Amino acid sequence: MRVKQDMPDISLATVYNCLDTFVQCGLVRQVVHERGATRYCANTEEHHHFYCDECHGTYDIPAAPSVSRFVFQVPAGFVVRHFEIVFQGLCPKCFAKRSESAEYP
C-alpha cells in the first residue's frame, strides 16, 4: 500500500518478487502460518513468533539463548539450519478485552 502511493501502477506480483529476493538475500524472513497469510519479518535476529487467535497479529518472541537445538531430539543425519517455535494464544490487548467482558479464555 505504501509503495502504491509513489508508484500507482506497481503490480502485486512485482512487490512479491521483490520480497522473494529480500528473503534470498537474508534481509527479511518469510513467516508462514497455517491459518494466516504469508508475512515477511524484517527482524533478522534469531527469534520465534507468537500468533494471536483473536486479532491474528504476529509478534516476535526473542530466542532464549539457553534453548538450543540440542534440547530437541533431532535424528542423526538431519542438519538443522534454522528452527522456529510457534506460540499461539492471546496477545496482551486481546487478553485485556476478554478480561473486561468477563469471558475468560
Residues 26-85 that bind Zn ion (CB under 5 A): 41, 43, 52, 54-55, 57, 60
d(C-alpha 19, C-alpha 25), whole Å: 10
- The answer to whether residue 99 forms part of the interface with Zn ion (CB under 5 A) is no
> Which is nearer to Zn ion, 11 or 101 (by Cβ)?
101
Smallest gap from Cβ 48 to Zn ion, in A, equals: 8
Instruction: CB nearer to Zn ion: give 19 or 94.
Output: 94
Buried b or exposed e, range 19-54, using 16+ CB within 10 angstroms: beeeeeeeebbebeeeeeeeeeeeeeeebbbbbbee
Residues that bind Zn ion (CB under 5 A): 41, 43, 52, 54-55, 57, 60, 91, 94
